[in-house]
């Protein structure tokens, strides 16, 4: 077993992991939902959110695994955290790093593993979201993308917790700072890394620090003779003044906005402005306290200052909004997925239908919802079987042959067309019933490409004639036709004479053109029902069917030889050609094999080639 090395940033990684206070905590639905979804979508019996501690891997969430932790040296995830992309082990038994791993040789008997690193907001790998199987398997590009998307949801949750930790820490620091003396506050005011100012209600600068002067490029003494209106970009001034007026009226205590100042040198400076009002004993505003950040240089400080102004209730509300946002994000992922997504209940009624389903099948979402699936995309001839499957499901016997597997089916569009689709179907318990969620991918192009590749595999790329593979496939069919019709068939074997000399003297390009021209001439010299094939090099075969006697007309062979022996005109040159022809007759009921027929025709051709040019040898079948 090959133990993984520790990452170069191990100390920083462990520090962030400890700060999250997530190790050895109870299960949480936000993570369990993701691991369950990973197992369902990728069709694996096991999945986990694994965090790599100092000497162990600990599972924050797990599906199909009994153990809550394992030694770090055993962990597949300890390898996964070294990369930025998915780490895949197709067959652990065949991988020298894992074949003797205790998790492979013993429970849970891992054979397949795929994991995507989960990281902190600074990119430190904390663990991985992984799926596992007890059988070897391959991972498609769609599977990889899906696993990365689910890992991104885990990252979002971890980043939110990391931000909350930093916010709490900063809040404690700020409360301590507010308790300091006025002299201490003044020192902070002057030395602050952000611009700070005391502003009169009419916009005059009353106090400014040096950082603000540096941001806008004016000396502090000159700023004190100006108003904030003087240096605000006119397009941003109306919004700023309106918000300031609301604070003065007591409608709100603070405001924040992004705005632009005109630098003393004439260019624009983008800042984030945060303003609060100082109140007198009667609660009336006396002046503004302004904090000005250079957004381009201090984005991180901006986020920290905004977080300091949030109350505990705001944080709870923000967390609630974040949960809703994650749910919306999941809906957005499904809505904008590259595959059609359809969800039905156990009665076959459609309860979800995404945009890709609209495009693929022609039914709008508002039209499809509430219809039965067999009324929309199930072909007519398959609807009875589909209803039977749903009936068995309602009795507690789900169609396990298709659930949690990828299968190819035929679907029906609204305009009556059928198209092949690849379906991934998962069963999801929901409020005491079962929903069936399916991703459907149009594989029409894939099927067409396979048909094209199959056709190309049976054709000679130079001449376009059937190649040896196609000839070997067609000959048994021709022999069977001869047996049924009780007609004979001639296997005519041709070989160009002196073709090597053409290649050697005129070049292979001319030789290829000679072969193509000869092939066209040969094709036009026989009947349309005869099969002409190129075996290899300058060897051709003709299957001449429908002979009434086991003897081929020698005049036909002579005529064929004459047509093929006429000089070929290539680039204005007449190139003499001739062919040696051998014939083998197949008679109905013969026990000769395809290989024997070709071999005998080949031998007959060679007898001709080594004897007179117009000689002909025929071997009885």
Query: Is there a contact between 81 and 52 (Cβ–Cβ < 8 Å)?
Result: yes
**If DSSP codes are grouped into helix, strand and coil, which group holds residue 289?**
strand
117 beta partners: 128
Quick one: DSSP state of residue 598? Answer: H
Distance CA 348, CA 344 (A): 5
129 beta partners: 49, 116
- Residue 83 has φ and ψ, to the nearest 5°, of -115, 175
pLDDT digits (tens, 9 = 90+) for 545-596: 988 887 776 767 777 777 888 888 887 778 888 888 999 999 998 989 999 9
For residue 397, is pLDDT > 60? no
pLDDT, position 41: 93
Name the residue among 82, 80, 164, 86 with its Cα closest to residue 121: 164
pLDDT digits (tens, 9 = 90+) for 207-260: 999 999 999 999 999 999 999 999 999 999 999 999 999 999 989 989 999 999
pLDDT digits (tens, 9 = 90+) for 497-546: 888 888 888 888 988 999 998 999 899 888 888 999 999 889 999 999 98
Distance CA 288, CA 72 (A): 56
For residue 5, is pLDDT > 90? no
Contacts 24+ apart (CB under 8 A), 94-100: 94/136, 96/2, 97/1, 97/2, 98/1, 98/2, 99/1, 100/1
Chain-centre distance for alpha carbon 15: 33
**Report field, pTM of the whole predicted structure over 0.75:** no
Mean pLDDT of the chain: 86
When pLDDT is averaged across residues 370-399 and rounded to a whole number, the result is: 75
| Catalytic site includes residue 538 | yes
572: Cβ contacts below 8 Å, ≥ 6 apart: none
Distances (CA, A) of 44 to 37, 129, 242, 429, 436: 10, 13, 57, 17, 17
pLDDT digits (tens, 9 = 90+) for 475-507: 999 999 999 999 999 999 999 988 888 888 888
When pLDDT is averaged across residues 382-396 and rounded to a whole number, the result is: 69
Name the residue among 513, 528, 522, 565 with its Cα closest to residue 541: 522
327: Cβ contacts below 8 Å, ≥ 6 apart: none
Q: Name the active-site residue from 530, 538, 561, 602.
A: 538
């Amino acid at each position: 077993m090959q133990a993984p090395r520790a990452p170069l940033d191990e100390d920083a990684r462990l520090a962030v992991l400890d700060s999250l206070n997530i190790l050895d905590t109870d299960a949480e639905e936000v993570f369990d939902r993701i691991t369950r979804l990973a197992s369902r979508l990728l069709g694996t019996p096991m999945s986990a959110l694994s965090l790599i501690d100092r000497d162990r891997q600990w599972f924050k969430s797990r599906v199909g695994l009994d153990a809550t932790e394992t030694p770090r040296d055993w962990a597949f995830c300890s390898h996964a955290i070294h990369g930025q992309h998915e780490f895949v082990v197709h067959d652990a038994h065949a991988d020298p790093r894992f074949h003797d791993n205790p998790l492979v040789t013993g429970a849970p008997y891992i054979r397949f593993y795929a994991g995507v690193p989960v990281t902190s907001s600074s990119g430190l790998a904390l663990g991985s979201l992984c799926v596992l199987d007890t059988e070897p398997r391959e991972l498609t590009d769609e599977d990889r993308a899906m696993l990365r998307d689910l890992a991104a949801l885990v990252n979002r949750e971890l980043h939110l917790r990391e931000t909350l930790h930093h916010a709490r820490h900063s809040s404690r620091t700020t409360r301590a700072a507010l308790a300091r003396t006025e002299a201490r506050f003044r020192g902070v005011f002057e030395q602050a890394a952000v611009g700070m100012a005391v502003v009169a209600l009419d916009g005059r600068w009353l106090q400014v620090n040096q950082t603000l002067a540096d941001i806008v490029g004016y000396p502090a003494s000159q700023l004190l003779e100006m108003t904030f209106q003087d240096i605000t970009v006119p397009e941003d001034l109306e919004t700023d003044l309106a918000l300031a007026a609301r604070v003065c009226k007591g409608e709100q205590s603070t405001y924040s906005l992004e705005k632009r100042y005109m630098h003393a040198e004439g260019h624009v400076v983008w800042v984030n402005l945060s303003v609060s009002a100082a109140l007198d004993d009667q609660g009336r505003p006396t002046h503004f306290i302004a904090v000005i950040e250079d957004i381009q240089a201090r984005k991180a400080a901006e986020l920290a200052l905004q977080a300091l102004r949030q109350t505990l209730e705001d944080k709870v509300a923000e967390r609630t909004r974040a949960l809703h946002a994650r749910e919306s994000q999941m809906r957005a992922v499904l809505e904008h997925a590259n595959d059609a997504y359809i969800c039905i209940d156990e009665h076959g009624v459609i309860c979800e239908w995404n945009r890709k389903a609209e495009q693929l099948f022609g039914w709008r979402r508002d039209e499809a919802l509430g219809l039965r699936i067999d009324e929309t995309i199930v072909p007519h001839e398959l609807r009875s079987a589909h209803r039977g499957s749903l009936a068995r499901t309602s009795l507690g016997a789900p169609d396990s042959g298709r659930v949690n597997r990828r299968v190819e089916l035929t679907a029906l569009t609204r305009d009556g067309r059928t198209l092949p689709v690849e379906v991934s179907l998962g069963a999801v318990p929901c409020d005491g019933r079962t929903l069936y969620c399916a991703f459907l991918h149009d594989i029409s192009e894939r099927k067409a490409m396979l048909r094209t590749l199959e056709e190309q595999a049976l054709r000679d790329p130079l001449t376009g004639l059937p190649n040896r593979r196609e000839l070997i496939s067609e000959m048994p069919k021709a022999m069977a036709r001869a047996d049924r019709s009780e007609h004979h068939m001639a296997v005519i074997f041709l070989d160009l004479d002196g073709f090597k000399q053409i290649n050697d003297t005129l070049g292979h390009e001319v030789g290829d053109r000679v072969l193509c021209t000869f092939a066209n001439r040969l094709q036009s010299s026989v009947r349309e029902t005869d099969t002409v094939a190129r075996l290899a090099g300058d060897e051709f075969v003709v299957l001449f069917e429908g002979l009434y006697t086991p003897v081929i007309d020698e005049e036909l062979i002579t005529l064929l030889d004459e047509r093929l022996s006429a000089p070929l005109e290539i680039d204005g040159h007449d190139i003499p050609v001739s062919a040696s022809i051998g014939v083998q007759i197949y008679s109905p009921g013969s026990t000769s094999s395809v290989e024997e027929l070709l071999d005998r025709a080949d031998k007959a051709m060679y007898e001709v080639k080594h004897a007179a040019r117009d000689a002909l040898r025929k071997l009885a079948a």
